[in-house]
Structure 1
Amino acid sequence: MPRTAIALLTAVAFVLAGMIGCSREKDQGALPELEEIVLAVTPWPASAALYVALEKGYFREEGLSVTTQSHVSGHLGLEAVLAGRADLATSGETPIARRALDGKPLMIVATVAEIDRAIMVIARKDRGISSADHLRGKKIGLVAGTTADFFLHIYLTTSYINPREVRIVNLATGRIVEALLNGEVDAVSTWSPYTGILRDELVGNACIVYNENLYTMTWNITATRDFVKNNPERLRKFLRALVRANGFVAEQPEQARAIALRYLGTDSALFAKDWQDYHFAVQLDQSLILTLEDQARWMLGKQTGDTRGVPNFLDFIHVDALQAVQPQAVTIAGH
């Protein structure tokens, strides 16, 4: 064979070998494309499992790229979802019930935590408050339309105090701590981390008025109807990651607390003590329906002349994703 032909064949062989090598490298180096989710989340202990899933890479292992938006309150996160600025949001029941009454197209995908003492009424002792009875005639600050608003209602009711006997002061979420510390109000109805901050700052001047077993709050993942309809597999991936994160919280509570603290930006010693009030489980329980109905009735009762009825909250619960991931976690009648 002529030398020129041999040289040509050798060159072709090198080119083919290079092409095959590049192709293999490309195939081996290619990563599956991650599906994006924007999560509106409130940084407080009930969101711990979400932060664990982010920190430990559970979302990425499910093929998700989760970007978080931080909101000081669940009702603001819910508004971000309804406005199309986020895909999923964390929220307590009160904003959900309110938006359901308004006919907004939202769905609860799962409850991720239950909290025994989620909301507290913290008062100043130097204002003469050492028990529930002493709240009469006092100014109580809260964020209207939140779970703290509903909690104060049931707390006053069970303490035989007419709401007209107290002065409710509506505050922005970011002013709760300041308003009590500077004496603008005599007490506040609020949630963690503000409860911990106030107890730290007021020290011996803080009076916590609370009725044990009065109310268990749920922390829920919400979405719009369109997102739920158009992204069934994405929701299943998200919930699988959360189930795994809750397992980590149960098995490694100290590490889970450390992760949550980094996102919460607090190192209060009270945080560890309060951790026992948070119960992490991905579920959809019948009690959620009952709580939503109670809150809807409370809202309707506050509005004179409102002829709307309590919604059928089954229409606002999406069970399919959780049933596919963990069927035993769905205990809502009819499902």
Structure 2
Amino acid sequence: MKPIRALRHRTAGLFLALALVSTAAACGDGSSAGSDGGPKKVKFGYIADYSGAAALAVAGEQGLWKKAGVTPELKVFTNGPLQVQALGTGDLDFGYLGPGALWLPASGRAPIVSVNMLGLADRVIARPGSGIDEPADLKGKKVAVAEGTSGDMILDLALREAGLQPDDITKVAMDASTVVTAFSSGQVDAAATWYPLIDTMKKKVPGLEEITRTEDYYPKLTFPNVFVTQPKLASGDPELVKRVTGVLKAAGDWIAAHPEESETVTADFLKLPAGQLKGATKYVKILPSGELTKLTRDGTVAGWFDALAADFHRMGKLPDPGKVQDYYLGDLYTAAGKADRS
């Protein structure tokens, strides 16, 4: 049985469990205590940048975990796939994934509990004088990209928009920091990458051209970053998953109402200079939980994930793109009550 098929069966069981939990909650006192009468403990992974840490920073600063009766143990990671691996071994209960890793939920390995933010930072850029003014001009050019990232995704979209195939370009795979070096030194004609790395490139290559932007595809397609959980936890303790999701919803609403202040709170959480994350919110779209609930119910969020899964399928990462209801716990998200500030 393929993983995506297996999760379909687990999801059906999850919805039944959710119904039972909702009934029990209606009859109980709403206590969030663990088996010893204290707060429930969760191990939560994150990435040390604005998008990857803002919700957790705000949840702690605003007392949202305490209100929900949850004690988080926060663990920093360098990327999403490592967090999915930790979810699989039980070393994490929840984690954060950028858009480049969303093929992992679609493959059945980590169901999505909440959309965090929508990325607006990705670009295909070209060196001045390269003869590249639009995606069609990438044909025959040397393009640097960090494979498996959102840069890889926007490059795929740009090629498809121009009617080009991957082998119509010379794709040079390297890590994200090396993309900066290769582009800046003229080793490649173009690059698929993101801000703030592009800010560094602009200093070294004045006049670089932005060929394709994330916003060019919105609202039909967007690059969400998300929070995920263990499949076993989603089906075995949906009450806890709902409580954590409520914290994330409340944190997201606070960020949407205080974007600039959230940059400072996140910098403090990451122990960075106060102004280092200034302007980070320019490169994300922050949707309040009310809007995300609406977009979940009307199928818009499902459309985002289905489109991305289809892209991952074309790129060879997913043998079966499946359906979003198999891995986005939208019913759980809409049912989760927000944790108010204590």
Flag whether TM exceeds 0.5 (same fold): yes
* Amino acid of the structure 1 residue aligned with 2:286: H
- How many angstroms does 1:111 deviate by? 1.0
The equivalent of 2:3 in structure 1 is none
The equivalent of 1:143 in structure 2 is 146
Is 1:206 matched up with 2:223? Answer: no
- How many angstroms does 1:134 deviate by? 4.0
2-side partners of 1:270 and 1:203: how far apart?
Answer: 23
Is 1:110 matched up with 2:114? Answer: yes
The equivalent of 1:45 in structure 2 is 50
The equivalent of 2:300 in structure 1 is 287
- How many angstroms does 1:153 deviate by? 0.8
Alignment of 1:30-41 (within 5 A): 33-41=38-46
* Residues 257-266 or 208-217, more deviating: 257-266
Return closer, same or farther for 1:155/1:257 CA change in 2, 3 Å cut-off: same
Instruction: Name the SS for the 1:59 alignment partner.
Output: helix
1-side partners of 2:165 and 2:273: how far apart?
Answer: 36
1-side partners of 2:164 and 2:277: how far apart?
Answer: 30
Q: Which residue of 300, 313, 325 maps to 2:336? A: 325
1-side partners of 2:330 and 2:69: how far apart?
Answer: 22
Instruction: Name the SS for the 2:287 alignment partner.
Output: strand
The equivalent of 1:125 in structure 2 is 128
1-side partners of 2:185 and 2:273: how far apart?
Answer: 21
The equivalent of 1:180 in structure 2 is 183
**Could you list the runs of 4 or more consecutive aligned residues of structure 1 that deviate by over 4 angstroms after TM superposition?**
126-131, 264-271
Is 1:240 matched up with 2:253? Answer: no
* Residues 145-154 or 263-272, more deviating: 263-272
The equivalent of 2:22 in structure 1 is none
- How many angstroms does 1:221 deviate by? 1.0
Instruction: Name the SS for the 1:85 alignment partner.
Output: coil
Report if the CA contact (8 A) 1:152-1:189 is conserved. yes
Return closer, same or farther for 1:269/1:64 CA change in 2, 3 Å cut-off: closer
- How many angstroms does 1:250 deviate by? 2.8
- How many angstroms does 1:320 deviate by? 4.8
Kindly provide the CA deviation profile for residues 235-285 of structure 1, in whole angstroms up to 9, marking residues without a partner as x: 222222222222322332221122234439588889527527422334362
Return closer, same or farther for 1:322/1:296 CA change in 2, 3 Å cut-off: closer
Give unmatched runs, 5+ long, in structure 2.
1-35
- How many angstroms does 1:226 deviate by? 0.5
Q: Which residue of 216, 223, 234 maps to 2:229? A: 223
2-side partners of 1:264 and 1:126: how far apart?
Answer: 41
Report if the CA contact (8 A) 2:117-2:224 is conserved. yes
Q: Normalising to structure 2: TM-score of the pair?
A: 0.71
The equivalent of 1:86 in structure 2 is 92
**Cα RMSD (Å):** 3.4
Kindly provide the CA deviation profile for residues 27-76 of structure 1, in whole angstroms up to 9, marking residues without a partner as x: xxxx9734322222233333322321133332233222223333343344
- How many angstroms does 1:128 deviate by? 4.9
- How many angstroms does 1:154 deviate by? 1.0
Work out the number of aligned pairs and report it: 291
Return closer, same or farther for 1:134/1:34 CA change in 2, 3 Å cut-off: same
The equivalent of 1:333 in structure 2 is none
Return closer, same or farther for 1:135/1:173 CA change in 2, 3 Å cut-off: same
Instruction: Name the SS for the 2:279 alignment partner.
Output: helix
- How many angstroms does 1:204 deviate by? 1.7
- How many angstroms does 1:122 deviate by? 2.9
Instruction: Name the SS for the 2:111 alignment partner.
Output: strand
Identity, % of aligned positions: 20
Return closer, same or farther for 1:258/1:196 CA change in 2, 3 Å cut-off: farther
Q: Normalising to structure 1: TM-score of the pair?
A: 0.72
Is 1:260 matched up with 2:266? Answer: yes
Q: Which residue of 152, 156, 173 maps to 1:153? A: 156
Is 1:313 matched up with 2:324? Answer: yes
Instruction: Name the SS for the 1:81 alignment partner.
Output: helix
2-side partners of 1:260 and 1:139: how far apart?
Answer: 37
